Amino acid sequence: MATKAGKPNKEGFALFLERMKQGKDAIWEKDELLTTMHWQKQVTAILIGIVCGVLPLTGLNGFLTFAIAQGLCTMIFYRVVLRVDEEQHGGVGEVLVEGFPTWAAMFVMLWVLAYNVVHVSAAATMA
């Protein structure tokens, strides 16, 4: 782990957890902000995927639910929890799309898994 100004330089999920502890007092560098938002979206995608799978959402309904919920959660986290100065970090556009392939794949994987565990296996045992 590298050091930065005499302090350990945390990365990934460790950085996310450290910044959550700091709350509104955190001073953000752009790469740290993007990393924190990336992990927030990963966790949110996992939760939304499980919820969409347990609820029998399929097709476009599932994707629309995910897109709306992920967008709302990201904006709430960015503006209310982190209280980031948008002017300093160049707006919210980059934050919304940061890591899209990763968190979209995480959602689809958990959505399909939860749906199959709850609905397909239940139908198989009833037959």
Give tens-digit pLDDT for 29-84.
878 888 888 899 999 999 999 999 999 899 999 999 999 999 999 989 888 888 77
Asked if residue 51 belongs to a domain, the reply is yes
Q: Are 54 and 121 in contact (CB under 8 A)?
A: no
Asked if residue 4 belongs to a domain, the reply is no
Asked if residue 2 belongs to a domain, the reply is no
Q: Are 64 and 105 in contact (CB under 8 A)?
A: no
Asked if residue 103 belongs to a domain, the reply is yes
Chain centroid, CA 50 distance in Å: 13
Q: Which two tokens stand for residue 42?
A: 């990963």
Asked if residue 8 belongs to a domain, the reply is no
Residue 57: the pLDDT is 92
Asked if residue 70 belongs to a domain, the reply is yes
Asked if residue 25 belongs to a domain, the reply is no
Looking up tokens 């990336």 gives 38
Q: Considering its fold, how many domains does the chain have in total?
A: 1
Mean pLDDT of the chain: 83
Band of pLDDT at residue 2, cut at 50, 70 and 90: very low
Q: Are 53 and 110 in contact (CB under 8 A)?
A: yes
- Residue-range definition of the domain harbouring residue 101: 31-126
Asked if residue 43 belongs to a domain, the reply is yes
Closest CA to 44 of 19, 11, 78, 93: 78
Q: Which two tokens stand for residue 71?
A: 């967008």
